[in-house]
Amino acid sequence: MPKKKSNAMPQTVSESLRAVLIESGLPLKRIEIETGVPRGSIRRFIQGEQSLRSDLIDKLATRFGLALVKRED
């Protein structure tokens, strides 16, 4: 069953990355081919079953044009 989209802003880096992966609608196999991140790891990350190592987060963030920026709180 697909997850419902939330209008709330993601609060963590993981939540932001998870949202981008879901919203992209790209097949996990394509993301795996383009980034080298195993699709099983991506699937488990999206489902909240596991976290990702920082090197894998870097690969995914680069692919989707994400950058870590300090908030002005």
The tens-digit pLDDT sequence of the chain (73 residues) is 445 555 666 688 999 999 999 999 999 999 999 999 999 999 999 999 999 999 999 999 999 999 988 878 7
Asked if the structure places residue 73 within a domain, the reply is no
Task: Assess contact for 38 and 44: CB atoms under 8 A.
Answer: no
DSSP assignment of 12-39: SHHHHHHHHHHHH---HHHHHHHH---H
Output the pLDDT for position 69: 85
Number of domains in the chain: 1
> Residue with structure tokens 């699937």?
43
Nearest by Cα to 46 from 36, 67, 60, 34? 60
CA distance 1 to 49: 16
pLDDT for res 27:
98
Structural domain that includes position 44: 13-63
Question: Considering the domain boundaries, does residue 17 fall inside one?
Answer: yes
Query: Which domain CATH number covers 45?
Result: 1.10.260
pTM: 0.80
Residue 35 lies in a domain: yes
Which pLDDT does position 61 carry in this prediction? 95
